[in-house]
Structure 1
Amino acid sequence: MGMLSWLAEQRIQEAMRSGEFKDLPGSGKPLELEDLSGVPEELRMSFKIMKNAGLLPEEITLRKECVTLEELLAACRNSGDTGSAEQKTLENKLSMKRLRLQELLRQRGLESSSSILEYGDKIRQKLLSEEE
């Protein structure tokens, strides 16, 4: 153990003995840990920073919108309302979102990024497992 680690540990122990850690917010409650195991390691920090800032990358927003549109289309098809004007409108919107997403990924050089592809596969697997 390095000298700084040892010193930090001694100060923590001293603070615990003197009761400085009593009545901290969240005391006695389980920690809320984020599961970032599905995010490639080299992308975790940037995703964490953006999430803490309340920002989502445009490609994530577009993917989310595509999923919503796909669900709406599936609902139209399941209701037997095929060929309706609403279904055509949804199909057009979905096509436009997919094209924008492809263009955005191409511009950013992410369409062939192994990290992004791996992350996308993990998201798909998770979504499919939640549907079952």
Structure 2
Amino acid sequence: MTDEEIGRQLREAEARGEFRGLAGRPLPVDEGWDATPAELRLPFKVLKNAGWVPPELAWFRERAQLQAELAAADAAQRAVLERRLADLQQKIALRLEGLRVHRTL
């Protein structure tokens, strides 16, 4: 077999997808990885691998829940839910600003 034949066979196998998922092949990089500041990537990766969920994620979920409740609330409930939502949004904004400015957990 010549080098050209081997190269052709390799290109054909790659086109058929035979090399996808093989050991030693690099995994695709998460698209959001580049948006994470370089100094936070390793800590976030370690925490993620340990199964730790950042409190901000729980806050985002709580915010979505409050927004859904607010959409279905009557006038009496509305004021209470709006206040809780405003407090939560302020908490989220302060935390995200702290991460942006200080770039630490």
If the length of structure 1 is used for normalisation, what is the TM-score? 0.41
- Bigger fraction of residues in helix: 2
If the length of structure 2 is used for normalisation, what is the TM-score? 0.49
